[in-house]
A and B are shown apart, each in its own frame.
Chain A
Amino acid sequence: MADKPRKATLLQVLRMVLSAFIGIRKRGEAEKIEVTPVQVIIVGIIAGAVFVGTIVSVVRFITR
């Protein structure tokens, strides 16, 4: 490994979690950053809640 992975910014963790939601991610991108489990869990829970919230609001909008 040439360059050491850098600590991830919030935006990078978010990008990682979102790519997990679709299931598509470049390997190079995955190895570039270093994330801690705490970061993933917090961002993951928030993104999960947003995901559920989005579907719920779509449903609300349709059944209005």
Chain B
Amino acid sequence: MSAVHAPTHDHGHDDHHAHKPSGIMRWVASTNHKDIGTMYLWFSFAMFLVGGVMALIIRSELFQPGLQIVKPEFFNSMTTYHGLIMVFGAIMPAFVGFANWLIPMQIGAPDMAFPRMNNLSFWLLPPAALLLIAAQFAPGGGAGVGWTLYAPLSTQAGPAMDLTIFAIHILGMSSIMGSINIITTILNMRAPGMGLMKMPLFCWTWLITAYLLVAVMPVLAGAVTMTLTDRHFGTHFFNAAGGGDPVLYQHIFWFFGHPEVYIIAIPAFGVVSQVIPAFSRKPLFGYASMVYATASIAILSFMVWAHHMYTAGMPVEAQLYFMYATVLIAIPTGVKVFNWVATMWKGSLTFETPMLFALGFLFLFTLGGFTGLVLSIVPVDIQLHDTYYVVAHFHYVMVAGALFSAFAGIYFWLPKWTGRMYNETLGKWHFWLSLVFFNVTFFVQHFLGLAGMPRRIPDYSLQFAEFNMISSIGAFGFGLSQLLFLYIVIKCITSGEKAADRQWEGADSLEWTHLPSPAPWHSFETPPVVK
């Protein structure tokens, strides 16, 4: 730690070292955290479009009662792969992309700890995505088993299931390697003076998320491997006739699945915790509390998994236990929401696009959290289990929570990544269109669920017709609005106005205060000194 050189705003200083390889090999063989971060983000956007098209196929079929457009088997396959692709292909890689770009810059490190493993983590993703897409063309079509891959459906499904299992293995390996990289980078490569409790909250949320990933991805791998051996190698883990138990699968899956919810949500909390203080021009309220609350949410997330399976059959004692434990998660989550609100309190607020998306996140994620509390109550859940109420609930958490936060982060850091500004007017259009159409799509689904419409059905009774039509119109509006986002990003990269080094004067992490825009290919080769 003898290097105490403090790089100030010497533009281009780092550029001398940037011997960028050119052509395709720059990307294929990349060990640069920024290039890999970029690839992660573009990959996740591509998967977002693929999963989005699947969602629109679902909503087209549900536009009217009756079967008009697709066969029920294909519909089931769409619900399954829409879920898998959005969770594993779009949202998770998007936040890993953020982690790659930002963690080294925010802690003052030159790169990730294991740059070659970083390359492998990324390049495992495209084959996995291809497997998930190829599964649609397997004999018998895609596996229509739902994204949870419950046994015994999954043990009986066609060959597409094997491709899906293999894809999940690969995705899991990628996530675990990515997490090891993130943990090692944060623990070992912080600049002198950058104590753990001085890190930007985004780094903290990723440190905690990475531990969650290392803990639960092997559990999912185990679950799908047991499915695989049940299918092909004569085991009976989930086969009651052979002494196994299909409910065992649900326990194992949700022991992974519930922390997975937080694996998606916690980095989103991190992004919002960077954006809200910047546009409130105040430091984050209750930084230490935020760190502790995040850790608390992570720990509690391991103790509540069976609230997903109240109707699978369990003793009333177990139902009560999981209900109480689930309700308790509202406490640390509430602490976070109050801290974000307190950060804005008496701040000099401005409402540029990143702040709008962060506020959209705050409102709608809180709403999604509340419907989650409703669902945690056992007698209510027994009514609402597997209805559209659940679909509405988790889309508020996943789309208005994670996706809006990712949009906030992309608009926030685009100037730093590209050196150019996006078009603010178009950005605001993107926000308002997304906000309105999101609610048109999903708010009415609460009513559908309360009225008893089951999820994962291609046809429904007539009394659900109006709300389904409204929801489908909203879905197409939401989908088309995302093409505007693509246009905004491409226009920003190609012809945006030059961005300032510290584009947002309220942003105070190292990438804004110590690095030019765009951030040079190699940054912090000599670590900055943090006071």
Contacts and interface: CB of A to CB of B under 8 A. Distances in A.
Interface string A33-64: 00000000000100010011001101110110
A23 B296 contact: yes
Contact of A63 (B299, B300, B317): B317
B283 to A, nearest CB: 10
B286, B289, B317, B321: most-surrounded residue (chain A CB, <10 A): B289
Contact of A58 (B197, B295, B324, B331): B324
B296, B303, B335: most-surrounded residue (chain A CB, <10 A): B296
Nearest to B303: A52
Interface residues of A, number: 23
Contacts of B286: 24
Given A22-B332, A44-B299, A30 B317 contact: no
B335 A56 contact: no
Contacts of B299: 20-21, 44, 48
A38 B478 CA distance: 48
A6 interface: no
B335 A24 contact: yes
Interface string B328-339: 000110011000
Contacts of B300: 21
B321 A59 contact: yes
Contacts of B324: 55, 58-59
A25 interface: yes
Given A21-B296, A63-B316, A27 B287 contact: yes
Contacts of A27: 197, 287-288
Interface of A: 19-27, 29-31, 44, 48, 51-52, 55-56, 58-60, 62-63
Contacts of A19: 292
Q: By DSSP majority rule, is chain B's interface helix, strand, loop, or mixed? A: helix
Contact of A23 (B287, B289, B325): B289
Nearest to B329: A23
Contact of B335 (A23, A52, A55, A59): A23
Nearest 3 interchain pairs by C-beta? A23-B293, A23-B332, A23-B335
Contacts of A52: 303, 325
Interface of B: 197, 286-289, 291-297, 299-300, 303, 316-317, 320-321, 324-325, 331-332, 335-336
A19 B336 CA distance: 14
Contact of A26 (B288, B317, B320, B332): B288
A30 B197 contact: yes
Contact of B320 (A21, A23, A25, A59): A59
Contacts of B336: 23
B245 to A, nearest CB: 23
13 contacts: A20-B299, A21-B332, A23-B293, A23-B335, A23-B336, A24-B286, A24-B289, A24-B292, A24-B335, A27-B197, A30-B197, A30-B292, A63-B316
Contacts of A60: 317
A51 B325 CA distance: 9
B303 A23 contact: no
B376 to A, nearest CB: 13
B321 A23 contact: no
B321 A24 contact: no
A24 B289 CA distance: 5
A51 B332 CA distance: 15
Contact of B296 (A22, A26, A30, A62): A22
Given A30-B292, A56-B317, A59-B324, 12 more contacts: A21-B300, A23-B292, A23-B294, A23-B335, A24-B335, A52-B303, A52-B325, A58-B324, A59-B317, A59-B320, A63-B316, A63-B320
Contacts of A23: 289, 292-294, 296-297, 331-332, 335-336
Given A31-B197, A48-B299, A20 B321 contact: no
